[in-house]
A and B are shown apart, each in its own frame.
Chain A
Amino acid sequence: MRYLPLTDSDRRDMLAAIGAPSIDALFADVPPAARRDGLVDLPLAAGELDVERRISAMAAKNIAAGSVPFFIGGGVYRHHVPAAVDHLIQRGEFLTSYTPYQPEISQGTLQYLFEFQTQVALLTGMDVANASLYDGATACAEAVAMANRVTRRNKAVLSGGLHPHYRSVCETYAKFAGNLLAAQDPAPGGGEDLAALLDGDTACVVVQNPDFYGEIRDYSALARLCHDRGALLVVVVTEILSLGAIKPPGEMDADIVAAEGQSFGNALNFGGPHVGLFATREKLVRQMPGRLVGQTADAEGRRGWVLTLSTREQHIRREKATSNICTNAGLCALAFTIHLSLLGESGLTGLARLNHAAAAIAAERLSAVPGVRLVNSSFFNEFAVRLPKPAAPVVEALAGKGILAGVPVSRFYPERGDLADLLLVAATETVTSDDIDRLARGLAEVLR
């Protein structure tokens, strides 16, 4: 077997050295009732060619996003990742290395994570960022938990513009931790009054910007009101590229930013693995969950990096840890930082402009389709339209015509008839004017 270096001759020699008559003797502690002499009922070992055929056959049954006009967003965005990124992350010293607990032989990982932390802080306009969490949704739940710790309160208010999966994850975590959550109704088109829900028990208010429907707002006033009441403002960002074009949460006086970084460096991957981003203010750094890389010097006085403030983490504080988290997003964070490094400031702002332009053109074309109405007054690269009939069947029909038209909001809120006619449409730099044409014409046909 190609991954097992031991030969039968090795195994014999080693058993002899151990003084065991057989390999079974080494499993003597397994209770007889649990011993299995035979193999489990699964196929036997297979060569690469055979495995490739079987796995590829499953892949071939799917319609890849890049093979058709593609307009799906809803918290995961299709962007072009420069070729160098995937080559670099596949270097064995990145791909097959361990968590950098031994800093002398992990300076590569530690340095790129330090650069990553800096990039995330700069993008979000905050003081410090951690070395990544699993994804945006769990980062959001961790932000709520952190706000509870900092304020010693346990009630969170969630905007109706928060991504429904993020809200859902927060609800699950809160339920089991015994915390309270006031999740507002979905708010396409705005109109919610979050300030009115603030009281002396509120630990935080969680908003998303741009929100789930793509609307962009300034939350500075809300931040002030939160602070007056001793609460924190948590801002969620699901399309991190938007911060290349719009005012970042740090400039709105946010206390914590929980974001999804998938747009840089990471493929869609059917929803995972992605990369959670987490940033906060200097004074709250010891309450931040997740790994942190800090700068220091070695015995020769040379600059280097180490994991630091580890006493917050599970392997030391155990039940008093800030979180139970052990892994971060590792290689996904590396892909993020390499992509962002390739872009640089001018590339980032240029890419953001391209995205916004694609979406602006798409919005205009779709608004011109009879019966279709744009909901947003503002957007970055994703917006919501109201159709004259339920959106889910329309999307299905367009899929049949080879167009992936967007996400029907009813996919997230199947029980809400009032949201059934809403469609979220995203247009990134990967969308061509031809794609937009086909979408507009296809939509017009299906709606006739």
Chain B
Amino acid sequence: MSEWSQALSRHVAAEGGAAPTISGNRGLQIEEALLFEQDSPGRSGVDLPEPPPVKTRLGGLERQGAIGLPGLSEPQIVRHYTRLSQKNYAIDAGLYPLGSCTMKHNPRLNEKMARLPGFADLHPLQPESTVPGALELIGTLAHWLKTLTGMPAVALSPAAGAHGELCGLMTIRAALTARGDARKRILVPESAHGTNPATAAACGYTVEAIPANAKGTENQGRVDLAALKAKLGSDVAALMLTNPNTCGLFEDEILDIAAAVHAAGAFFYCDGANFNAIVGRVRPADLGIDALHINLHKTFSTPHGGGGPGSGPVVLAAELAPYAPLPWVVHGPNGFELVEHAGGSAQHTIGRLKGFHGQMGMFVRALTYMMSHGADGLRQVAEDAVLNANYLRVKLQDALSVAFPGICMHEVLFDDAFLKDTGVTPLDFAKALIDEGYHPMTMYFPLVVHGALLIEPTETESKASLDQFVDVLRGLAQRARGGDAENFRSAPRFTPRRRLDETAAARKPVLRWRPDTEHREAAE
């Protein structure tokens, strides 16, 4: 056991932390074993008919021996997953103040529409003549995305935000190659999300960081324009920016930034993770952006699903449009058509980034959401998102330490100055917040401030919800300053599991169940 978990175990033992019930269950919190530990050979949760007798044609390569998959009945399976679900926090249950994640309500109409057989039961390789409505939906979504962003083209196939970034950088590289001007470097702010440099590297570029203006200076927290200009040169392919940035601030010098980038012959890529702050009010095209990926699972409410699936369409400027990945959905004389091969108008495409046509299930959900809100509703979304974040800012600014005082956009950044000399780390603070019934805010990101705490409420939180959250945060901050560090370090107490030993998990990874391993409940 690591030193940390030894210390924590001592504390828990001192609290009398052994389970008070016979079963180990605690009321509605029911322990649930692994499927593999509940196996009964031959049992199944489905009833299948006997196959008709045929001569097998498996080439003599029939699978030999047992696979090892457990057999359970339907009631057991339903109970298993129901119990598991009860150990999860979710938007349906409470606020997720996660910065740059936009954890807004997931409307159920989206789910109903995505499950219409006319969408869900369509095969991507059906003859196009049998799926005109699917292509129409894709074309309609494309129209909404282009209109909201002011951009002339959109690549719909990327499966997630990071995939969209890859798509955007690939089109940029293709455009530069076509110009005969291959370049080697991508500039990325220090505050950038980790996917940005990882994507740049995957695309064959080296990455250089641009600092932000220091706290207390003019334009604090935003990209240092002078430093950017100094790094721009004939060797820079693109700047990757997030706007509003990951400190929750609008890059007010963005027009100058765009001009400088373009003057250097480079492209301006924008990470659209924070589009929720400006949707319906500001169009990225008007900011000089050449490519922007949109996270449908952020701004457009498609569900996070415990980690996916996402969808990351990329809107593109005219110069980048010819390089968009396949397939394209274009509007022809007979309605919407699928372009699946390079050639003709698609002769310069970078090729495919994914199998088949893209995340159709997420397209249906996102368009349902967009149509529900409309132009006026979407504008209201951005306004309420920004209003909610600023409300939190002013209600918390004397209890927590705002990193960059002044107006923020849809998220507000704090640093750990308010925890100085308390012995409570941002991590401890977050774990205490869990006991209060909240998922913690984003922590330790962005890296530009010490002990960052980034809070994004979204527009689907009521004022009452925000007021409750404020009360809890103020209370916790007060307790931390009151010298209550031990209690923070032993949090959380009321969750299905206490703090878990991540060191042990990484030192000796156990990544699957094995029948011969003894799973002992006692600590080693």
Contacts and interface: CB of A to CB of B under 8 A. Distances in A.
Q: Do chains A and B touch in the complex (CB under 8 A)?
A: yes
B203 interface: yes
Interface in A74-115: 74-76, 78, 82, 84, 86, 88-100, 102-109, 111-112, 114-115
B226 interface: no
Given A29-B249, A31-B252, A105-B434, A40 B375 contact: yes
A330 interface: yes
Contacts of B351: 168-169, 171-172, 175
A182 interface: no
Contacts of A63: 126, 130-131
Interface in B47-70: 48-49, 51-64, 66-70
A342 B92 contact: no
A356 B375 contact: no
Max chain A C-beta neighbours (<10 A), residue from B121, B252, B512? B512
A30 B19 CA distance: 55
A184 interface: no
A158 to B, nearest CB: 14
A48 to B, nearest CB: 5
Contact of B250 (A29, A92, A178): A29
Max chain A C-beta neighbours (<10 A), residue from B137, B357, B492? B137
Interface in B34-93: 34-36, 39, 41-46, 48-49, 51-64, 66-72, 74, 77-78, 80-82, 84-93
A119 B69 contact: yes
B61 A247 contact: yes
Contacts of B45: 82, 84, 341-344, 347
B309 A332 contact: yes
B383 to A, nearest CB: 5
Interface string B342-377: 000000001111111111111010011011111111
Contact of A301 (B307, B357, B373, B523): B523
B91 A40 contact: no
Contacts of A45: 372-374, 376-377
Interface stretch (A20-28, A198-206, A437-445): A20-28
Interface size class of B (residues with CB under 8 A): 35 or more
A417 interface: no
A57 B44 CA distance: 39
B181 interface: no
B120 A93 contact: no
B502 interface: yes
Given A93-B88, A301-B522, A39 B280 contact: yes
A347 B502 contact: no
B342 to A, nearest CB: 10
B505 A4 contact: no
Interface stretch (B228-236, B455-463, B479-487): B455-463
Interface string A180-202: 00000000000000000000000
B407 A321 contact: no
A60 interface: yes
B497 A330 contact: no
Interface size class of A (residues with CB under 8 A): 35 or more
Nearest to A83: B74
Contacts of B66: 345
Contacts of B354: 134-135, 137-138, 165, 169, 272
B179 to A, nearest CB: 17
Contact of A165 (B61, B81, B356): B356
A3 B372 contact: yes
A230 interface: no
A344 B70 contact: yes
A36 interface: yes
Contact of B78 (A84, A316, A360): A84
Contacts of B440: 102
B64 A247 contact: yes
B395 interface: yes
Nearest to A310: B506
A100 B306 contact: yes
Interface string A425-443: 0000100000000000000
Contacts of B462: 5-6, 10
B227 interface: no
B134 A270 contact: yes
B49 A354 contact: yes
B2 to A, nearest CB: 10
B519 A303 contact: yes
Contact of B132 (A61, A74, A168): A61
Nearest to B7: A299
B180 interface: no
A104 B434 contact: yes
Contacts of A166: 355
B162 A341 contact: no
Nearest to A378: B59
A306 interface: yes
A122 B123 contact: no
Given A84-B45, A304-B500, A399 B130 contact: yes
A105 B439 contact: yes
B77 A36 contact: no
B166 A354 contact: no
Interface stretch (B210-218, B282-290, B413-421): B282-290
A19 B372 contact: no
A15 B359 CA distance: 39
A243 B65 CA distance: 12
B473 interface: no
Contacts of A88: 78, 81-82, 85
A39 B379 contact: yes
B28 interface: no
Contact of A39 (B303, B362, B376): B376
B210 to A, nearest CB: 14
B54 A165 contact: no
B373 A3 contact: yes
A108 B85 contact: yes
Given A6-B384, A122-B67, A177-B204, A302 B306 contact: no
A338 to B, nearest CB: 6
A420 to B, nearest CB: 14
B103 A98 contact: yes
Nearest to A353: B51
B501 interface: yes
A334 B497 contact: no
B387 A23 contact: yes
Contacts of B53: 357
Interface in A31-54: 31, 33-36, 39-46, 48, 51-52, 54
Given A330-B304, A404-B123, A134 B309 contact: yes
A165 B12 CA distance: 54
Interface string A290-323: 0111111111111111101111011111111101
A360 B162 contact: no
B25 interface: no
Given A51-B371, A344-B70, A62 B391 contact: no
B358 to A, nearest CB: 6
B61 A246 contact: yes
The 9 A-B pairs with the shortest beta carbon distances in the complex, nearest first, are A59-B118, A271-B356, A378-B59, A61-B133, A92-B92, A301-B523, A331-B305, A344-B71, A271-B124
12 contacts: A4-B381, A4-B459, A46-B374, A63-B131, A64-B122, A75-B355, A82-B45, A95-B92, A217-B61, A294-B506, A356-B54, A356-B56
Given A178-B204, A350-B51, 12 more contacts: A42-B370, A66-B121, A95-B111, A98-B103, A98-B439, A104-B496, A247-B62, A272-B360, A306-B500, A311-B506, A315-B445, A363-B57
